Amino acid sequence: MTGKKHKVTVVGSGKWGSTIAKILAENTREHPDVFEEEVQMWVFEEEVTIPKDSPHREALGDQTHKLTDIINRVHENVKYLPGTALPSNVVANPDLRAAVKDATILVFNLPHQFIDKTLEQMKGHHLPYARAVSCVKGVEVANGRVTLFSELIMEQLGIYCGSLSGANIAPEVAAEEFCETTIGYSPPPMDLDAKDELSPDNRHVINKQRQRKISSTSAELQRVPDDYPCVDERLLRRLFERPYFHVQVVADVAGVALCGALKNIVALAAGFVAGKGWGESSKAAIIRIGMMEMIRFGRFWFPDSVNQKTFTEESAGVADLIASCSAGRNFRSAKHSVEKGVSVDELEQSELNGQKLQGTSTTRAVCDFLSTHGKLDDFPLFNAVNRILDGKVSVDELPKLLR
């Protein structure tokens, strides 16, 4: 009765996008009953010269090649994920519209600054009943509003979109070091009503508030045709879970996405404290306080849908926060700025070639947002990070500001 198979496309091919494509392609091979084997990966085309020490130098020579050609010939993204073999059923495609055309499952995994333009190009060129998962990090905070990228995808394309986030440092996942991730996904009502064979697990995942929220946009959403397997928790596990990559599915799409954005503010704070030479007790306190403010923020803006447990018990929450406060770029840069006695802005100029850290822009946007809503005083850590970034308070004042 499940006559058709899902066709999966990854939109994006950076370090994390290529890693996710690898995982998905491993799984489509393992479950040929529900998925087409081939996984299309949309690649923003560029010319790449094979490095002298590359093991592919012999096969490819020393001239430049199109990145898609390289990936399809040697099954490695030599530019963004060198050293990791991609399954041969990952097919790089430079044509966005062609790559997404027949996909019933779209996995978005590209830097947030490219998402608007990408969605614009995709409009009307994808299946109207496709389902999506966003691995895009961050949220859009502007004009007193917070918008999740999953919401943006739903609005722009008229398809349902969940979110994926977790303690997943891409090269570690690519190397198949054990980790976990969280997928926020509550199947839209029309998918559920159409199916009888829903697993109890899947019913369990449905969060009433969230469902109500989706219902408001449901008019535009189209049902996945009955001859496809239902896109539910079980299917998402089959698609994303590997022996080295464990998946939890929760209904709280907003919480999952928010965690991935707000953690960077906390990572800056943890870096400041580490830069002072304070020990693990201090860092642990900052992580705890930061997590509580992340929850408060989620409850303020998404009171109906955010579940505290996403923050305190899931990989997207507490685990990603821990990893980001130990190994992330925001943490390291903030630590370095204190050690060198320069501002983070100066450090971005002198050491990151003017590239902005995600944490600094998120901190400023979030604090502007909170200020607009008169809520800044409820978030002493976020506020303190913002003021440290602006040189208005010193790290030494943190304990007092957090009391």
Binding residues for substrate: 137, 329-330
Confirm or reject binding of residue 278 to a copy of itself (CB under 8 A): yes
CB of 349 to a copy of itself, least distance (A): 27
CB of 235 closer than 8 Å to CB of 185: no
CB of 298 to a copy of itself, least distance (A): 14
Question: Would you say 9 or 19 has its CB closer to a copy of itself?
Answer: 19
Residue 192, token pair as written in the block: 């559920």
CB of 289 to a copy of itself, least distance (A): 8
Confirm or reject binding of residue 401 to a copy of itself (CB under 8 A): no
Taking alpha carbons only, the member of 105, 135, 126 closest to residue 236 is 105
User: Is 79 one of the annotated active-site residues of the chain?
Assistant: no
Size of the site for a copy of itself (CB under 8 A): 45
Give the range of 32-40, 84-92, 152-160, 279-287 binding a copy of itself by CB under 8 A: 279-287
Confirm or reject binding of residue 81 to a copy of itself (CB under 8 A): no
Confirm or reject binding of residue 288 to a copy of itself (CB under 8 A): yes
CB of 328 to a copy of itself, least distance (A): 8
What φ, ψ does residue 305 adopt, rounded to 5°? -115, -25
Confirm or reject binding of residue 243 to a copy of itself (CB under 8 A): yes
Element (H, E) at 216: helix 208-218
CA pair distance 212, 214, nearest whole angstrom: 5
CA 28-32-36 angle, to 5 degrees, is: 60
Q: How far is CA 311 from CA 220, 250, 253, 308, in A?
A: 31, 12, 12, 6
Confirm or reject binding of residue 13 to a copy of itself (CB under 8 A): no
* Residue 364, number of CB atoms within 10 A of its CB: 16
Q: Which one of 319, 334, 338, 381 is in contact with a copy of itself (CB under 8 A)?
A: 319
Catalytic residue, from 213, 263, 283, 335: name it: 263
CA pair distance 16, 119, nearest whole angstrom: 19
Which residues line the annotated binding site for NAD(+)?
12-17, 44, 114, 170, 329, 356, 358
CB of 246 to a copy of itself, least distance (A): 6
Q: Hey, which residues between 171 and 230 contact a copy of itself (CB under 8 A)?
A: 171-173, 177-180
Question: Would you say 376 or 402 has its CB closer to a copy of itself?
Answer: 402
Which residues line the annotated binding site?
12-17, 44, 114, 137, 170, 329-330, 356, 358
Confirm or reject binding of residue 44 to a copy of itself (CB under 8 A): no
Angle between helix axes 380-389 and 280-301 (nearest 10 degrees) is: 110
Q: Which residues does residue 141 pair with via DSSP β-bridges, in sequence order?
A: 146
CB of 367 to a copy of itself, least distance (A): 21
Kindly compute the dihedral angle of the four CA atoms of residues 29, 31, 32, 33, in this order, to the nearest 10 degrees: 180
Q: Which one of 43, 167, 365, 370 is in contact with a copy of itself (CB under 8 A)?
A: 167
Question: Would you say 101 or 387 has its CB closer to a copy of itself?
Answer: 387
CA pair distance 135, 45, nearest whole angstrom: 21
* Residue 254, number of CB atoms within 10 A of its CB: 25
Q: How far is CA 220 from CA 151, 216, 226, in A?
A: 13, 9, 18
* Residue 288, number of CB atoms within 10 A of its CB: 12
Q: Which one of 258, 291, 294, 385 is in contact with a copy of itself (CB under 8 A)?
A: 291
The set of catalytic residues is 263
